[in-house]
Amino acid sequence: MKETCGPATSIAGEAQHDARDEPSGRTQPDALQILEERFARGEIDHDEFESRRAALRDGGT
């Protein structure tokens, strides 16, 4: 039975791996999205949001 399940499991694992490698298959949010979510939840104020967004846009300089 292990042989029967092995290839199917292997194919499913490869499909999941490929989806993570594709830009559209990203599961982790990017830095700007995290920043926007924190602002929406009220964790940071508008000034902090704008400051951090500018830093992200300028590459952190």
Torsion of CA 52, 60, 30, 17, to 10 degrees: -160
Please give the model's pTM, rounded to 2 decimal places: 0.52
What is the pLDDT at residue 35? 97
What are the residue ranges spanned by the domains of the chain? 2-57
Q: Is residue 5's pLDDT more than 70? A: no
**pLDDT tens digits for 21-51?**
556 666 778 999 999 999 999 999 999 999 9
- State the number of CA atoms in the 13 A half-sphere of 61 facing the CB: 2
Split at pLDDT 50, 70, 90, the class of 59 is confident
DSSP of the chain = -HHHHHHHHHHHHHHHHHHHHSGGG--S--HHHHHHHHHHTTSS-HHHHHHHHHHHHTT--
What is the pLDDT at residue 61? 60
